[in-house]
Amino acid sequence: MRGDTIRRIVRAYDDPVVRAYCWARFGILRQRFLDEIGQYLPASGEVLDIGCGFGLFSLYYGATGPARFVRGIDVNGRRVAMARRAAARLGIENVAYAEGDARDFKGDGEVAAAYMLDIVHHVPPESVGPLLRRLAGCLPPGGTLLVKDVDTRPAPKRWFTWALDKLMQPSARVRYWSAEDLTAALEAAGFAVRRHAMLDFLPYPHVLYVCTRKAAA
């Protein structure tokens, strides 16, 4: 059962603080939420996880999609190392992790799909457009990019999210995009965009953008 998969993943981390964070993260997101996003991922092929952190999502989508190969990239080397150790403990062989900054991501060949979950608001605004264009260049026509990020509305939820971000990373700069502005940036990068109406039980204003790479004109 997938609930058992979540428990196994969380228990695979060797740091008790990280385990507590992961329990909280999965507790907030819930399995239904993970599967709501995961339904748009292909059943097979290579999938990029940009900003993979401790590997929570890549491990889940690798474990529940054994024909996929999920490749995670994150700027934090410690998190990448912990993701690798968790994958080894779990025996999940269809995932791999590399240290790297999303702003420097160049792409190295075509992939079936990619996703960024709660990452865009951490990327400097001037780097978002180039990053989206590079991701489009990695996908075949009709390929999928999933972007989940924080909306600017409603304001109380936005401020709650800002407080959480500052609690986790006090020195980090964040920039939340309105749904209209991020849709426009994705379209400018070469995607057809559909906003998925997610079950709104979270305390922050999340939006899932289901993006399909357009064929070259």
What 3-state class would DSSP assign to 6?
helix
User: Does residue 81 share a domain with residue 30?
Assistant: yes
| Domain boundary pick from 53, 85, 100 | 100
More confident site: 17 or 169: 17
CA distances from 171 to 47, 66, 168, 174, 210 (A): 31, 38, 9, 10, 31
| pLDDT tens digits, 166-203 | 555 656 677 788 899 999 999 999 999 999 877 655 66
User: Does residue 146 share a domain with residue 212?
Assistant: yes
pLDDT class for 142, splitting at 50, 70, 90?
Answer: very high
Of 90-94, 114-118, 205-209, highest mean pLDDT: 90-94
User: Does residue 144 share a domain with residue 92?
Assistant: no
User: Does residue 11 share a domain with residue 92?
Assistant: yes
| pLDDT tens digits, 87-109 | 999 999 999 999 998 777 766 66
Residue 156: the pLDDT is 52
Residue-number span of the structural domain to which 39 is assigned:
1-100
| pLDDT tens digits, 31-47 | 777 888 999 999 999 99
The Cα 164–Cα 206 span in angstroms is 14
**Residue 3 belongs to domain with CATH number:** 3.40.50.150
The whole-number average pLDDT for the span 199-216 is: 79
Number of independent structural domains in the chain: 2
The secondary structure of residue 66, as a DSSP letter, is T
Average pLDDT in the chain: 85
- Beta pairing class for 95-99 and 113-117: unpaired
**Beta bridge mates, 117:** 148
Q: Is position 107 within any domain?
A: no
The Cα 34–Cα 12 span in angstroms is 19
Q: Is position 126 within any domain?
A: no
Report pTM: 0.88
pLDDT class for 18, splitting at 50, 70, 90?
Answer: confident
User: Does residue 156 share a domain with residue 71?
Assistant: no
User: Does residue 155 share a domain with residue 60?
Assistant: no
